[in-house]
A and B are shown apart, each in its own frame.
Chain A
Amino acid sequence: MREITVAEAIREALSEEMDRDKNVFVFGEDVGKFGGCFGVTMGLYDRYPDRVIDTMIAETGLMGICLGSAYAGMKPVAELMFSDFATVCFDYFANQASKNRYMTGMQEGGQAAGLVVRAPNGAGFRAAGQHSQCMEQYFMPIPGIKIAIPSTPADTKGLLKYAIRGNDPVIFLEHKLLYSIKGPVPEGDYVIPFGSADIKREGTDVTVIATQMMVHKSLAAAEKLAKDGISVEVVDPRSLKPLDMKTIMASVKKTKRVVLVNEAPKTGNAMTEIGLRIAEQGFDFLEAPPIRVCAPDTPIPFSPVLEDKWIRSEADIIAGIKKALS
Chain B
Amino acid sequence: MKLTNKDLIKLYGDMWLVRLFEARVQDLFASGVLPGFIHLGLGQEACMVGTCFNLEDGDIIGATHREHGVLLMRGVSANAIMAELYGKVTGTCKGKGGSMHTCGLKEGALGNNAILGPGQAIINGFAYAHKFRNNKKVAVTMFGDGASNRGEFHEGLNFASVWNLPTIYIINNNGYAISVPVSKQQKIQDLSARAAGYGIPGVSIDGNDVLTVLETTAEAVKRAREGGGPSLIEFKTYRWRGHFEGDPTPYRTNSELEDWMENRDPIKNFGKDLLEREVLTEKEMKEIIAEQQAIVDAAQKFAEESEWPPESEIYTDVYYNDEGGAQ
* A interface with B by C-beta (< 8 Å): 25, 55-56, 58, 60-74, 76, 91-92, 95-96, 101-114, 143-144, 146, 166-168, 194-195, 241-243, 245
Q: Are B118 and A64 in contact (CB under 8 A)?
A: yes
Please report the C-alpha to C-alpha distance between residue A243 and residue B117 in the assembled complex, in whole angstroms. 32
Q: Does B126 contact A (CB under 8 A)?
A: yes
Which residues of B in the span 93-110 have a Cβ within 8 Å of any Cβ on A? 93-97, 101, 103-106, 110
**Least Cβ–Cβ distance between A287 and chain B, in angstroms:** 26
Between A and B, 23 residue pairs with Cβ closer than 8 Å are A25-B132, A58-B159, A60-B155, A64-B152, A67-B122, A68-B123, A68-B129, A72-B129, A74-B129, A95-B118, A101-B320, A104-B93, A104-B96, A104-B103, A105-B91, A105-B95, A110-B105, A114-B320, A166-B320, A168-B319, A195-B324, A243-B324, A245-B327
Interchain CB contact under 8 A, B122 and A64: yes
Measured CB to CB, the closest approach of chain A to B112, in angstroms, equals 9
Give the size range of B's interface with the partner.
35 or more
Tell which of A25, A55, A60 has the most Cβ of chain B within 10 Å: A60
Contacts A168-B320, A242-B323 given; does A104 touch B105 at CB 8 Å: yes
Enumerate chain A residues within 8 angstroms of B51, measured Cβ to Cβ: none
Among A58, A95, A111, find the residue whose CB has the most chain B CB atoms closer than 10 A: A58
A-B contact count (CB 8 A): 159
- A111: chain B residues within 8 A (beta carbon): 317, 320
Beta-carbon contact of A72 and B96 below 8 Å: no
Chain A residues within 8 Å of B316, by CB: 106
Are B125 and A72 within 8 A (Cβ)?
A: yes
CB-based contact A68/B159 at 8 Å: no
B interface residues, Cβ below 8 angstroms from A = 60, 91-97, 101, 103-106, 110-111, 113, 115, 117-118, 120-130, 132, 139, 151-152, 155-156, 158-159, 162, 316-321, 323-327
Q: A72-B126, A103-B96, A105-B93 are in contact. Are A64 and B162 (CB under 8 A)?
A: no
Decide if B159 touches A56 in the complex (CB within 8 Å): yes
- Asked if B122 and A101 make an inter-chain contact with CB atoms under 8 angstroms apart, the answer reads no
Measured CA separation A146–B325 after assembly (Å): 11
Bound: A143/B323 CA distance, A: 12
Shortest beta-carbon contacts, A-B, top 5: A68-B125, A64-B121, A242-B324, A61-B155, A110-B105
A241 nearest CB neighbor, chain B only: B324
A62 contacts across to B, CB distance below 8 A? 159
Query: Known interface pairs A105-B96, A107-B92. Does A71 touch B324 (Cβ–Cβ under 8 Å)?
Result: no
- Nearest chain B CB to A87's CB is how many angstroms away? 14
Q: How far is the CB of A275 from chain B (nearest CB, A)?
A: 15
